[in-house]
Amino acid sequence: VGSQVKTGLDKLIESDFEAIRGKRVGWVLNHTSRDRLGRHILHRLPQDPNFELKALFTPEHGLEGVRDEKIEHGFHKELGIPIYSLYGETRRPKREWFEGLDVVVLDLQDVGVRYYTYISTLRYCLELARETGTTILVLDRPNPLGGEVIDGHRATRFDFICCDSLPLVHGMTMGEVGRFLNREIGAALEVEEMEGWQRSMRWEDTGLPFLSPSPNLAELEAVDLYPVLGQLEWLELSVGRGTRSPFRVIGAPYVEDPLALAQDFQREVGAPLVFRPRLFIPESSKFEGQVCGGVEVEAVGPLETPARTGLAMARVLARRYPGHFRWSDMARHLGTDDVPSLLDTEPSPEEWRNIRKPYLLYR
């Protein structure tokens, strides 16, 4: 494809690993750390590398990206080096893991939504790197939601699913988010920039194969809906985990009239989403083995306000099922301790557009 984007990894390989030449290296990676032909970095390491690979680090979901539970440390037999889990006994890398490393390379496919945890892993790496004098090198990749859509309130409470005062949909790449996070941390941060990516691009414009970033985001449609339905995940509600359509259906055993719910959503939330009544039985996760009434959600056009769309759906649920709904259950995903006041104010994309300007790398 003539217009194919080159990722940071493609650029690093093309340069014969120039940025890490002669260095002792750690690598934060998973199954998405692939070049544009779909070849994994561990298969692209040179036979006679000009750098010393000392350790691998894996985020939530592990090296293969298929696990939904805590992950143990491991050992890579062929390479003879440790694999440290950043989603197990600890979510922060330990000082001794970074000591003796000149550079930690981070190459993960993010999804552009604040509560997706790979940016928290990046933050924790930056914080430790500041102490150990290690350089963090982010190999940049496209934001699948593009670089222009901004929506949602900026966060004011912080934890692993909310690592900084970003809006829910921030419209930045991993490299750009790293630059924003680092404004207060002050680590040595470098970004291997992409070539050919523009903010207006959707994933299908990049010419790159889509790599499912985690088990429940197996399709681009689920990634598009993740900022909408992910907000609802900690309510007394299934968002389709354990079904064949995670983040494309929602429901619960107490939903007795799926058609009425679908009609309410269609009226209150509307385009570009289409809601269809559905019955489903999760095979695992919440409501395992129980029949859930609910709706299937499809986006038939680009979502300009995904965060506000999710809140509009929450308002319908709160009205229809008051006995099963608590706004406080959404607080962590919304990044606030005060959900009522957040509901009373409109987010300001313009404000964020100005704040993020100095950290952007692409037009």
**Residue 67: what pLDDT?**
80
Model pLDDT, residue 1: 44
pLDDT in tens, 149-167: 999 999 999 999 999 999 9
Mean pLDDT of 339-363: 94
Neighbouring C-beta atoms of residue 91, cutoff 10 Å: 16
Task: Note the CATH number of domain 220-233+236-325.
Answer: 3.90.1150.140
The whole model's pTM is what? Answer: 0.95
The whole-number pLDDT of residue 65 equals: 84
pLDDT of residue 15: 97
Which residues have C-beta within 8 Å of that of residue 67, sequence separation ≥ 6? 61, 215
**What would the mean pLDDT of 115-131 be, rounded to a whole number?**
98
Residue range 8-201+355-359 forms a domain whose CATH class is: alpha beta
**Do 8-201+355-359 and 220-233+236-325 show the same overall fold?**
no
Give the chain's mean pLDDT. 96
pLDDT surpasses 90 at 69: no
Distance between CA atoms of 140 and 179, rounded to whole angstroms? 12
Domain parsing of the chain, residue ranges: 8-201+355-359, 220-233+236-325
Instruction: Look at residue 2 and tell me whether its pLDDT is greater than 70.
Output: no
Q: Which of 179, 177, 51, 189 is nearest to 128 (CA)?
A: 189
Residue 12: its pLDDT value, please?
A: 98
What's residue 153's pLDDT? Answer: 96
Q: What percent of the chain has pLDDT over 90?
A: 93
pLDDT of residue 82: 97
In DSSP notation, 261-305 reads HHHHHHHHT-TTEEEEEEEE--SSSTTTTS-EEEEEEEESS--S-
What letters, b where the CB count within 10 A reaches 16 and e where it falls short, cover 25-53? Answer: bbbbbbbbbbbbeeebbbebeeeeeebeb
pLDDT (tens digit, 9 = 90+) per residue, 236-273?
A: 999 999 999 999 999 999 999 999 999 999 999 999 99
Mean pLDDT of 286-294: 98
SS3 251: strand
Q: What is the pLDDT of residues 187-217, one digit of tens each?
A: 999 999 999 999 999 999 999 999 999 989 9
Residue 29: the pLDDT is 98
Q: In which band, very low, low, confident or very high, does the pLDDT at 64 lie, cut at 50, 70 and 90?
A: confident
Q: How far is CA 39 from the centre of its chain?
A: 21
Tens digits of residue pLDDT in 18-37:
999 999 999 999 999 999 99
pLDDT over 60 at 353, yes or no: yes
Percent of the residues in the chain that have a pLDDT greater than 70, as a whole number: 99
Is residue 277 within 8 Å of residue 229, measured between CB atoms? no
